């Protein structure tokens, strides 16, 4: 690595015939946005790399993109959960951005505009956010998933204001090291896929960007990791792969279903009354759990009915989900409007906004009906096993 010069969160170094200028930013800092604009206009680089993937770039540059979201397709593709988490995570940045009267990601907007002004080539250097989320979720342990969800929910209850000085302090190397160490200790799986892998991905994109002078606009947390790995040659194609769904899980799912059906059939053959008890209890718990999940989500009455009716079918099929049917029903009955997309940030400033906004309510319906059905199915299955054992022992 050639000599590295650090100045006010800007890292400059040369490698061969290329000069790199890495700007470490805070995504909601007014100072970061102004710094990005100033550096690009002064340096006039051949290429500007920004920490965005094509999807987020489109969302940021096309104001109507949110309103054109095909919500039915999101549900059918099984991306409702990812979309819900994405909305919740971005909401925290939106709250801080609103506090400073700045658009979240403004430094990226300034980078894009300055690149156009200077005629620099624009490179979208980040990995697809959907791939990142899927790798994070697949790679986290059960307890890390619980902690992550709890942390996201708690962010809604945190109304403590943060000063711009605090934001700027977080960009210093010492503060970043401490923050990343703490984050890595708490969420080892999350850090690996959300931070470490993206350090490598961003590094390779910036490293091989065209031109002799390259400016990269990056979250400050990624810069140390990129610099430490700069001389490594990494294959980013492997980092773009989505872990396939486990066939073992699907086989196990069908095996459990067939075993439960066999238990009920065997119980019926010996004691029909006990067989009916197994069936009745399982149906009540499974259908009731799904219905309760829809009610908690304040779903439309027809959506609640849909979740109750479809719960037994979904519970007996490892490839179908009650929330899929409930979400489609809710999206059809209460189709989101453009205003719902525009009001996302404002509505989510309070926890109650999750239910108020049609977009997040549909996503909540999907998650809660799936959760309710799953809990009911587990309790009902335990009942089936208990009665079966009592019948034969």
Same domain, 58 and 9: yes
* Residue 35 reports pLDDT greater than 60: yes
**pLDDT for the residue 80:** 61
221-256 tens-digit pLDDT? 899 899 999 999 999 998 988 877 667 767 777 888
* Residue 303 reports pLDDT greater than 90: yes
Domain that holds residue 157: 4-240
Q: Return d(Cα 110, Cα 112) in angstroms, integer.
A: 5
Domain final residue pick, 240, 263, 287? 240
Mean pLDDT across 282-301: 95
Q: Return d(Cα 186, Cα 108) in angstroms, integer.
A: 29
Angle between helices 129-139 and 54-61 (to 10 degrees): 130
Backbone angles phi, psi at 335, to 5 degrees: -60, 130
Task: Name beta bridge partners: 83.
Answer: none
Strand, coil or helix: 271 = coil
Share of the chain above pLDDT 90, in %: 39
Burial zone of 243 (CB within 10 Å; 0-12 exposed, 13-18 middle, 19+ buried): exposed
Same domain, 206 and 343: no
Same domain, 21 and 133: yes
**pLDDT for the residue 170:** 53
Same domain, 228 and 294: no
> Listing from the earlier edge strand, what are the strands of the sheet with 213-219?
4-7, 10-15, 18-25, 213-219, 47-50, 121-124
Predicted TM-score of the model (pTM): 0.67
Domain final residue pick, 180, 205, 240? 240
Same domain, 271 and 318: yes
DSSP E strands: which ranges in 222-336? Answer: none
pLDDT band at 125 (very low <50, low <70, confident <90, very high): very high
Same domain, 223 and 285: no
Same domain, 141 and 282: no
Domain final residue pick, 207, 240, 273? 240
The residue with greater pLDDT, 141 or 300, is: 300
**pLDDT for the residue 3:** 46
What is the tally of structural domains in the chain?
2
Same domain, 273 and 311: yes
41-93 tens-digit pLDDT? 999 999 999 999 887 787 777 655 555 555 666 666 666 656 666 666 565 55
* Residue 215 reports pLDDT greater than 90: yes
The residue with greater pLDDT, 159 or 389, is: 389
Same domain, 297 and 196: no
Same domain, 138 and 97: yes
**pLDDT for the residue 9:** 79
**Mean pLDDT computed over every residue of the chain:** 80
Burial zone of 127 (CB within 10 Å; 0-12 exposed, 13-18 middle, 19+ buried): buried
Same domain, 195 and 287: no
156-182 tens-digit pLDDT? 555 555 555 555 555 555 444 555 555
In 215-225, which positions are buried (b, 16+ CB within 10 angstroms) versus exposed (e)?
Answer: bbbbbbbbbbb
Task: Give the long-range contacts of residues 207-212, CB within 8 A, separation 24 or more.
Answer: 207/15, 209/47, 209/49, 209/121, 209/123, 209/125, 210/46, 210/47, 210/121, 210/123, 211/18, 211/45, 211/46, 211/47, 211/120, 211/121, 212/17, 212/18, 212/19, 212/46
Q: Return d(Cα 293, Cα 289) in angstroms, integer.
A: 6
* Residue 366 reports pLDDT greater than 60: yes
Same domain, 313 and 207: no
Q: Return d(Cα 376, Cα 374) in angstroms, integer.
A: 5
Q: Return d(Cα 280, Cα 284) in angstroms, integer.
A: 6
């Amino acid at each position: 690595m050639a000599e590295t010069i650090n100045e006010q969160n800007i890292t400059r170094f040369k490698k061969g015939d290329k000069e790199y200028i890495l700007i470490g930013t805070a995504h909601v800092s007014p100072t970061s946005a102004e710094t990005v604009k100033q550096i690009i206009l002064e340096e006039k680089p051949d290429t500007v790399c920004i920490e965005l993937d094509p999807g987020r770039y489109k969302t940021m540059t096309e104001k109507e993109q949110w309103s054109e979201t095909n919500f039915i397709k999101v549900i059918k593709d099984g991306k409702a959960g990812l979309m819900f988490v994405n909305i919740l995570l971005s909401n925290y940045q939106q709250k801080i951005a609103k506090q400073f009267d700045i658009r979240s990601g403004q430094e990226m907007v300034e980078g894009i505009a300055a690149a156009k002004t200077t005629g620099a080539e624009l490179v979208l250097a980040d990995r697809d956010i959907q791939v990142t989320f899927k790798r994070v979720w697949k790679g986290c342990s059960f307890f890390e998933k619980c902690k992550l969800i709890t942390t996201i929910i708690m962010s809604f209850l945190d109304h403590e204001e943060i000063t711009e000085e605090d934001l700027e302090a977080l960009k210093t190397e010492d503060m970043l090291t401490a923050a990343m160490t703490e984050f890595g200790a708490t969420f080892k799986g999350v850090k690996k896929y959300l931070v470490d892998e993206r350090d490598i991905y961003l590094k390779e994109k910036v490293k091989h960007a065209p031109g002799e002078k390259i400016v990269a606009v990056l979250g400050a947390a990624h810069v140390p990791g990129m610099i430490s790995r700069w001389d490594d040659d990494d294959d980013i194609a492997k980092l773009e792969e989505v872990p396939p769904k486990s066939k073992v899980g699907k086989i196990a799912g069908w095996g459990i279903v067939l075993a439960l059906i066999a238990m009920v059939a065997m119980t019926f053959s010996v004691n029909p009354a006990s067989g009916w008890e197994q069936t009745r209890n399982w149906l009540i718990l499974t259908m009731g759990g799904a219905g309760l999940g829809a009610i908690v989500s304040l779903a439309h009455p027809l959506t609640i009915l849909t979740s109750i009716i479809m719960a037994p079918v979904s519970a007996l099929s490892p490839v179908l989900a009650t929330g899929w049917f409930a979400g489609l029903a809710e999206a059809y009955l209460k189709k989101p409007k453009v205003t719902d997309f525009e009001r996302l940030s404002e509505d989510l400033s309070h926890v109650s906004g999750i239910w108020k906004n049609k977009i997040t309510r549909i996503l909540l319906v999907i998650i809660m009906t799936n959760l309710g059905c799953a809990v009911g199915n587990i309790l009902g299955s335990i009942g089936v096993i208990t009665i079966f054992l009592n019948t034969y022992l």
